[in-house]
Amino acid sequence: MKPSGDYNWHSVVPLPKSKITQQLTKKHKREEERGFIDVPIVEDHYHYMESPTNDLETMSPKVAALAGLRKDKHVPKGWITFTKRGNRCSLAICKGNACNTPKSNAPKGLAFEGENQHDPVEEPLFQVSGGGKIKGLHDLFCVVKGLLMTLA
């Protein structure tokens, strides 16, 4: 999904098909404006699998620890930020608190809460910039997992 117009941010709120309720649809779909606030209803094949084996905790325990889904004595709770502009990628793995941001006029419940909302107060654990080698979510998680494995 690409932003439209002259917006400097684009919010996407994916709603898993198996979790859809009238209340969620009403909450998120009423403010939808294509290319500015997109609310796609997505298939979640994980829900339909008989024995789920592809969960984050099993496949990437270090990434799951960063997300706060499990404990790891070497990996603190935190977040990742990833940007791609043309062929240039920037990745930061952060911990601690994010910077306080001014009050936003954005509708509540969206990913956007203010410019620089994900800037860390402390130095990031890792900060990497370079060519466009990350082509998808799997690539991103593999890079993050590899970097987190060096913490010991």
Tens of pLDDT along 11-20? 777 778 877 8
- d(CA 120, CA 24) in angstroms, rounded, equals 30
Helix (H, G, I), strand (E, B) or coil at 41: strand
Q: Answer whether residue 112 is part of any domain.
A: yes
Question: Domain limits at 84?
Answer: 56-149
State residue 41's pLDDT score: 77
Helix (H, G, I), strand (E, B) or coil at 83: strand
pLDDT (tens digit per residue) in 111-127? 555 566 667 778 889 99
Q: Answer whether residue 2 is part of any domain.
A: no
Same domain, 105 and 128: yes
pLDDT (tens digit per residue) in 73-110? 999 998 888 888 888 888 999 988 777 666 666 666 55
Same domain, 35 and 65: no
State residue 102's pLDDT score: 64
Cα-based angle 136, 27, 2 (whole degrees, multiple of 5)? 30
Same domain, 25 and 62: no
Same domain, 110 and 42: no
Same domain, 44 and 73: no
pLDDT (tens digit per residue) in 44-57? 766 555 555 457 78
Q: Indicate the number of domains in the chain.
A: 2
Same domain, 85 and 110: yes
Same domain, 26 and 86: no
Which helix or strand (DSSP H or E) is residue 37 part of?
A: strand 37-38
Query: What's the CA dihedral at 17, 21, 25, 26 to 10 degrees?
Result: 180
Same domain, 89 and 131: yes
